[in-house]
Amino acid sequence: MPQYERGFFMLSRILTDLKYSYGINCHETTPITGGWLNQKWKASTDHGELLIKQFSSKRFGPNNLRFIEAALQRQILVEKEGVLCPKIRQNKGRAIRLLDDSTAYMVMDFCGGKTAGPGQLTDGQMNSLGSACGFMHRAFSRLPVHSVLGYPIGSEDFLSSLWENYNKRIRDLSADAPEAYRKALSLQEPVLKQFSATYLGRLPKGIAHEDFTSDNLLFTADTLSAIIDFDRNQYSFLWHDIGRAVLSFALHEHRLDNRKIHAFLEGYLQYSSLTLPDIADALRISWCIETPWWIQPSFFSRERGKAIRFRDEILWLTEHFFEIDDLLGCKSVFHCNKRTY
HSE at residue 237, side-chain half, CA atoms within 13 A, is 27
Give the Å distances, CA to CA, from 182 to 52, 172, 175, 296: 43, 11, 10, 10
pLDDT of residue 1: 39
pLDDT per residue of the chain (341 residues) written in tens, 0 to 9: 344 444 556 789 999 999 999 999 999 999 998 767 789 999 999 999 999 999 988 888 888 999 999 999 999 999 999 999 999 999 999 999 998 877 899 999 999 999 999 999 999 999 999 999 999 999 999 999 887 877 667 789 999 999 999 999 999 999 999 999 999 999 999 999 999 999 999 999 999 999 999 999 999 999 999 999 999 999 999 999 999 999 999 999 999 999 999 999 999 999 999 999 999 999 999 999 999 999 999 999 877 778 899 999 999 999 999 999 999 999 876 755 444 33
Residues 6 or more apart whose Cβ sits within 8 Å of residue 105? 14, 52, 53, 54, 55, 96, 97, 99
What are the structural domains of the chain? 3-109 (3.30.200.20), 127-328 (3.90.1200.10)
> Rounded to whole angstroms, how far apart are CA atoms 89 and 58?
24
Query: Residue 89 forms beta bridges with which residues?
Result: 107
Looking at the DSSP bridge assignments, the partners of residue 252 are: 255
3-state class (DSSP) for residue 229: coil
Amino acid 339: pLDDT:
41
Whether the full predicted model's pTM is greater than 0.85, yes or no, is yes
The full DSSP string for 84-117 is: SSPPEEPBTTBSSEEEETTEEEEEEE----B---
Q: Are 125 and 94 in contact (CB under 8 A)?
A: no
Residue 1: other Cβ atoms inside 10 A: 8
- Cα–Cα dist 64/307, whole Å: 22
The confidence score (pLDDT) of residue 321 equals 97
How far CA 79 is from CA of 130, 137, 141, 149, 335, in Å, comes to 17, 12, 14, 20, 40
- Beta-carbon contacts of 42 under 8 Å, excluding residues fewer than 6 positions away, are 29, 30, 32, 49, 50, 51, 110
Contact 35, 27 (CB under 8 A): no
Specify the pLDDT at position 146: 80
How far apart (Å, rounded) are the C-alpha atoms in residues 225 and 115?
A: 10
What is the pLDDT at residue 10? 74
C-alpha dihedral over 114, 117, 122, 126, to 10 degrees? 90
Rounded (10°) CA dihedral 202, 203, 207, 209 = -170
Identify the three-state secondary structure at position 24: coil
pLDDT at 49: 97
Neighbours of 149 (CB within 10 A): 10
